[in-house]
Structure 1
Amino acid sequence: MTAVTPDQAAPRSLTVPLDRFYQYQLSERGLSAHTQRNYQRQLDKIVDFLTARGIAHWQDVDADWVRQISSQAKRDGLKPGSIALRLSALRSFFDYLVLTEQLAANPAKGVAAPKQGRQLPKNLDVDEMNQLLEVDQDDPLSVRDRAMMELMYGAGLRLAELVDLNVRDVSVRKGDLRVTGKGEKERIVPFSGMAKTWVMNWLKVRNQLLKGPEEALFISKLGQRISHRSVQKRMAEWGQKQAVNSHINPHKLRHSFATHMLESSGDLRAVQELLGHADLSTTQIYTHLDFQHLAKVYDAAHPRARSTEASKPRAGKKNNSES
């Protein structure tokens, strides 16, 4: 097999269809910039792989080549999740080539990604959440940070959904948010209690950070929409300040929302809607988080779960099985 040559230029017959694919993803499918960048990184690696092996046309890539791409990624030390992402990007690109009649069939369809261990989301318990959210400082940045954390935990938002919120998306009076989720899908999410209180507190001091017109709900000290990285950094810092034992990140607050809502309500469909999951199976992962909790509920509720002396035949009476 030909060795990879890093400085070998990829033929236009490989790169031009990719450029058209990226434009299609942006204009027709409305993929987020983050997903777009991930796909592009993976497909660039595949182009390097094919170029080094003398493949100049996508029509020459069959299922065997797709399996070799997967095997090479494994030899390069990629984790199963990263290999799955690489194959997913290639599958989507080939779907586009089939759609535009440049390929008759998708050669990546039948190639399975390596099996991944089931990665359960991590969450904070209620006491840890209360400890994290007891932010009593009243400077604008602290008020903003508590409002962000209260809202993420109170409404189960994704990081991108939180950052993308505009002031006009929030109805404090009705207690709901208009959220734009994955695939540009909008949903209405309720929020109340402490989340509502702290969003109102933030709106009262938000003008202190404004430098000019800005529609974003949460802004930085420069008066601009806060970045994903800044939210992650600030939440991690608050976890340390509040002496929470585990590392705090936005995903953990969303996962905690999902877990606590399911434990309290048991309503999987409602939690699915609140989280904005397209597939119920995505929400079901949260039902595996606390087996001990589920086991206690089962033992307490199921009429045949208890093994007590009361269930045994009383002395002096013959068991029916013996008659």
Structure 2
Amino acid sequence: MMSDTNAALEAYLHHCQCEKRLDAKTVKAYRCDLEQFGRWLEYRHVTVALVGKGDLSSYLGYLNAHFAPSSAKRKVASLRAFYSYCEAEGLVPTNPFHGFKVCIREPKRLPRTIPLADLNGIFRELYSSEPNAVASSPEGSASDHAKGGYRPFCLARDRAIVEVLLATGLRVSELCGLDDRDFDQTAKTLLIFGKGARERVIQVENESTLDALTDYLAWRNAWQSVKPREAPGSSSPLFVNRFNQRLAEQSVRALIAKHANRAAASTHITPHMFRHTFATLLLEEDVDIRYIQRLLGHSSIKTTEIYTHVTNAKLRTILKDHNPRNAIV
């Protein structure tokens, strides 16, 4: 990558990380997108300061040819933000995006929700499972927990995770990022740190969800008494693995898939589908979309409006399959 392009890129990423304080994953995505653009410029022997609308058109053609519309759209957004920064800092004489029309046709994909039959099956599977007789309660002896306490701890944790995902609509990254201090048992609230370093507070009012969290914490504390954290840090994660380290997002995906398979779910179920289901069920209960936007932590109402398409699609199915006119021969 040419030196001026590399310098501009690193300055922008430093700005995103240290001044805008963007999430580390967002900065990583920006780096990936911009380094790709830098390699494309190097191949064409063009510097970042000399890019014009013709170059942008060529790059857009390259993206449309090699990437899915959603990926191409994200990469263009990364590039647009980068050039806005370069313009503000005087790193480029002109911003090539001024007056440039980006045409990426992205097909509308409706969010995938969990069928209620599958949802009920998962909950039945979770609550019909019984842990080993050993360490049958969190108050069991330390030796009991050391022998067989992991299975009931794991089951209590899985129940709490599924309960929280459905009752709050959290992203899996938000769930895994929760610390003990973020759950106020007295106020029944969760403090969420979402995308763009935005905070929101979600009330946890469902008694089954609260009971599952309380039960999990009792098992976790008992487990930690015999399996202390190997590398304790400054934060105390709410959801942990068997080594008492913060539970990874991939682990949540795996445990959701495990319980869905045991429940013989009709489709592959992911943690994010709980978020879609949460929003869709609220909308079907006539909850104002503005409230749903706040609960989901969307910065724009346009993002939340995708769920209106889901409910409209359901209405069409209802009127097609259960229309009273169908009874007339």
Q: Which amino acid aligns with 2:57?
A: R
Letter in 2 for 1:250: P
Q: 189, 192, 200: which is aligned to 1:179? A: 192
Matched, 1:270 2:291: yes
Amino acid at match of 1:59: A
**TM-score w.r.t. length of structure 2:** 0.83
Question: For 1:290, what is the secondary structure of its paired residue?
Answer: helix
Shift in Å, 1:30: 1.7
2:265 corresponds in structure 1 to 244
User: Which of 203, 207, 218 is matched with 2:217 structurally?
Assistant: 203
Cα shift readout 1:215-270 (whole Å, capped 9, x = no counterpart): 10001111111111111122112211111111111110000000001101331111
2:71, 2:169 → 1: CA distance?
26
Quote the sequence identity (%): 27
- Tell me: CA distance 1:79–1:293, structure 2 relative to 1, closer, same or farther (3 Å): closer
- Structure 1 residue 297 displacement after superposition: 9.5
Contact 2:293 2:304 in 1 (8 A): yes
SS, match of residue 223 in structure 1: coil
Q: Counterpart of 2:104?
A: 114
Q: Which residue of 2 aligns with 1:27?
A: 18
Of 70, 77, 81, which residue of structure 1 is paired with 2:60?
70
Q: How does 1:54-65 map to 2 (within 5 A)?
A: 54-55=45-46, 57-65=47-55
1:161-176 → structure 2 map (5 Å cutoff): 161-176=174-189
Structure-1 separation of matches of 2:121 and 2:84? 48
Q: Is the 8 A contact 1:163 1:225 kept in 2?
A: yes
Looking at structure 1, the residues matched to 248 and 316 of structure 2 have their Cα atoms a distance apart, in angstroms, of 41
TM-aligned CA distance change 1:296 to 1:122, over 3 Å? closer
Whether the 8 Å contact between 1:84 and 1:113 is mirrored in structure 2 is no
Q: How does 1:127-206 map to 2 (within 5 A)?
A: 127-134=117-124, 135-136=126-127, 137=129, 138=131, 139-193=152-206, 194-206=208-220
CA distance in 1, matches of 2:32, 2:20: 18
CA distance in 2, matches of 1:239, 1:86: 34
Is there any run of 5+ residues in structure 2 with no aligned partner, and where?
A: 132-151
RMSD of aligned residue pairs (Cα, Å): 2.2
1:43-58 equivalences under 5 Å are 43-55=34-46, 57-58=47-48
- Give 5+ residue unaligned stretches, structure 1: 1-9, 299-305, 308-323
User: RCO greater where, 1 or 2, for CA within 8 Å and sep 6 or more?
Assistant: 2
The CA distance in 1 between the partners of 2:317 and 2:57, in whole Å, is 46
Tell me the TM-score normalized by structure 1: 0.84
Name the residue aligned to 1:314.
Answer: none
Q: Which residue of 2 aligns with 1:223?
A: 244
Greater shift in the superposed pair: 272-281 or 98-107: 98-107
| CA distance, structure 2, for counterparts of residue 53 and residue 292 of structure 1 | 46
The amino acid that maps onto 2:238 is L
Would the aligned equivalents of 1:80 and 1:114 in 2 still touch at CA under 8 Å?
yes
Q: In the alignment, residue 199 of structure 1 is paired with which amino acid?
A: L
* CA deviation profile, 1:59-111 (whole Å, cap 9, x unmatched): 10011111111111233x21111111111111111111012122344213523
Bigger Rg over Cα? 1
Residues 162-183 of structure 1: per-residue CA shift (max 9 Å, x gap): 0111111111222211111111
- In structure 1, the residue corresponding to 2:201 is in which secondary structure? strand
Please say which of residues 208-217 and 253-262 is displaced more in the overlay.
208-217
Aligned to 1:98: 87
Distance 1:37 1:220, change over 3 A: same
In the alignment, is residue 87 of structure 1 matched against residue 67 of structure 2? no
Deviation at 1:125, TM superposition (A): 3.0
Instruction: Mark the CA change 1:65 to 1:258 in structure 2 (over 3 Å): closer, same or farther.
Output: same
Aligned-residue offset at 1:128: 2.2
SS state at 1:265 partner: coil
State the Cα distance separating 1:44 from its structure 2 match: 1.3
Structure-1 separation of matches of 2:55 and 2:10: 22
CA–CA separation in structure 1 for the residues paired with 2:123 and 2:21:
35
| Conservation of the 8 A alpha-carbon contact between 1:132 and 1:242 | yes
Other structure's SS at 2:192 match = strand
Q: 2:256 aligns with which of 235, 255, 259?
A: 235
